[in-house]
Structure formats: C-alpha cells, structure tokens
Amino acid sequence: MNSAAIIPARFASSRFPGKPLALIGGKSMIERVYNQVTAAGLDYVAVATDDSRIYNHVKAFGGEVIMTSDTCINGTERIAEAISHLASRPEIIINIQGDEPFILPEQIHSIVKALRDPGTGIATLKKRIDHSDELNNPNCVKVVSDRDDFALYFSRSPIPYQRDNRDFWPDFPVYFKHLGIYGYKTDILLDLVKLPESSLQKLESLEQLCWLENGFLIKVIETNFQSIAIDTPQDLINAETWLKLYK
C-alpha cells in the first residue's frame, strides 16, 4: 500500500459535541469528509474513532472505519493506532480532520506530491487570509513560513505582529491561515507520537508546535481554495449557506 488517508473523528468536543454527525444539507459532516477524501483516489481511506455512534454511522453509509481506544489525546495518536490495525503499512499517511467537509481532492494530491520529495517528511496547507476578522479569531490558526515554504511558527494569535501599524490591513500579503490537513511519511508519524507534550504545544494547544520544537520540518503548501472548517455550531450554519451557494 502506497498511500492511505485516515480521518480521525471523536464525538466529544467542548465547543461542538457530536460534530461529526451534524448534518450539512441532509448529509452528515463525516460522510461528506469521507466522500471528498475517497474522490482523491488514494489506496485506502478510513475513519478512526473511539465512539460507537460514529463507528456505526460510517458502517451504515458503506465507509471503512477503525475503532480506536478512548485514550488517544489527539488525532495524530488516533491515526498512529489505526495504522497498527492495517494489514500492511502505507508509505504515506494523509490526516484529514473530520471537520473539513469541503476539502478538495486536488488539495490532497498536493500533499501527496510534496511527500514524494525525499526532503519532506510532513506537509500541510495554508490559505491567504482575505478578511481581517479571521486574523483575530483564535479558532483560525495562523502560520508563518520561510522562503522554502517550511513552517516557522503556528499560532492562534495574529502573526506576524505589526509593531508600527496595528490597524494596517490589507494589501500586505503575509497573513496565512492553516488548513486542517496533514500528510506524513509513516515512519515520521510514528516518531511524532512518541514526543512528550512541549511547552509551546501546551500554551497554544497546537500539537504541530511540539514537532517544530523537536526539529521536525513541516512543508506548507499554499492553496487558493477557501475551505470551511466546522469548529462551532455557527460554522455549521455558515456551511449550510456555502453549500446552497456553491453546490
């Protein structure tokens, strides 16, 4: 097996309990994510969950699903456990968050392509921020990259900070948000889950900061597609509106 996509999904959520089963246009969010990922044509796609309601729902719509333990502290750990259930280990693992119902197959392809480079062990996506309200939204994670498109830092706060002109907004093209998809070479992924929680990870509640603190490089690929991640019930309302406009 060359490439596999695992979609971690949990029922419990402080901001939006039961989020994977929430309906968007009459179809559950997790089913929409699954269908988008399947369309990318990878060798294998499955949902990984610790909840029987999600497990049974995925089975009901004909999807592949792996039951994992309830001790996983994040999606990366859940994916690593899911890999142990596979008959063969894939070379590349794609991690698509279960709250990205509009992720495009082309975006997944760009991650896979980046991981074909021997110098890339982790890859993810960024999108230019077009609206100032996103900049101050802590649910919208920001990213700054170097000249070779490797991540320098991720934050829930606006980065970079504008020291001399705090009200300035717009044409200066340096603000990017991070989108909820990762790709890893499998050996790298299995190294990541062994890392203890880091100080920056604790402060920002962003696991990728632990990877950076431990010297792992993260390739960040720019995409022009405006994905809608569902973090809150209000985001679900926005997704319904988006679906009516663009379906």
* pLDDT reading at 187 higher than 90: yes
* Per-residue model confidence (pLDDT) at position 166: 59
Lowest mean per-residue pLDDT among 98-102, 176-180, 225-229: 225-229
Residue with the bigger pLDDT between 189 and 247: it is: 189
By C-alpha distance, which of 163, 203, 186, 149 is closest to 3? 186
Residue type, 126: K
pLDDT tens, 117-134? 999 999 999 999 888 888
* pLDDT reading at 13 higher than 90: no
Supply the range of the domain harboring residue 57. Answer: 3-246
Please, what is the average pLDDT of the chain?
89
The number of domains in the chain is: 1
pLDDT tens, 130-139? 888 888 889 8
Q: How far is it, in rounded angstroms, from Cα 4 to Cα 45?
A: 6
Segment of 14-28, 93-107, 153-167 carrying the highest mean pLDDT? 93-107
Lowest mean per-residue pLDDT among 59-68, 202-211, 218-227: 218-227
Residue type, 171: D
pLDDT tens, 140-185? 899 999 999 999 999 999 898 877 765 655 555 679 999 989 999 9
* Per-residue model confidence (pLDDT) at position 170: 54
Q: How far is it, in rounded angstroms, from Cα 125 to Cα 151?
A: 10
- The CATH number of whichever domain residue 59 belongs to comes to 3.90.550.10
* Per-residue model confidence (pLDDT) at position 151: 98
Percent of the chain predicted with pLDDT > 90: 66
* Per-residue model confidence (pLDDT) at position 150: 98
Backbone angles phi, psi at 38, to 5 degrees: -60, -35
Q: How far is it, in rounded angstroms, from Cα 95 to Cα 117?
A: 18
Position 195 confidence tier, pLDDT thresholds 50, 70, 90: very high
Residue with the bigger pLDDT between 95 and 165: it is: 95
Residues 6 or more apart whose CB falls under 8 angstroms from that of 117 comprise: 219
- For range 211-224, the mean pLDDT: 97
H, E, C per residue of the chain? CCEEEEEEECCCCCCCCCHHHCEECCEEHHHHHHHHHHCCCCCEEEEEECCHHHHHHHHHCCCCEEECCCCCCCHHHHHHHHHCCCCCCCCEEEEECCCCCCCCHHHHHHHHHHHCCCCCCEEEEEEECCCHHHHCCCCCCEEEECCCCEEEEEECCCCCCCCCCCCCCCCCCCCEEEEEEEEEEHHHHHHHCCCCCCHHHHHHCCHHHHHHHCCCCCEEEEECCCCCCCCCHHHHHHHHHHHHHHC
Residue with the bigger pLDDT between 7 and 240: it is: 7
- For range 198-208, the mean pLDDT: 96
Position 247 confidence tier, pLDDT thresholds 50, 70, 90: low
Q: How far is it, in rounded angstroms, from Cα 20 to Cα 30?
A: 5
50 within 8 A of 67, measured Cβ to Cβ: yes
- For range 47-55, the mean pLDDT: 95
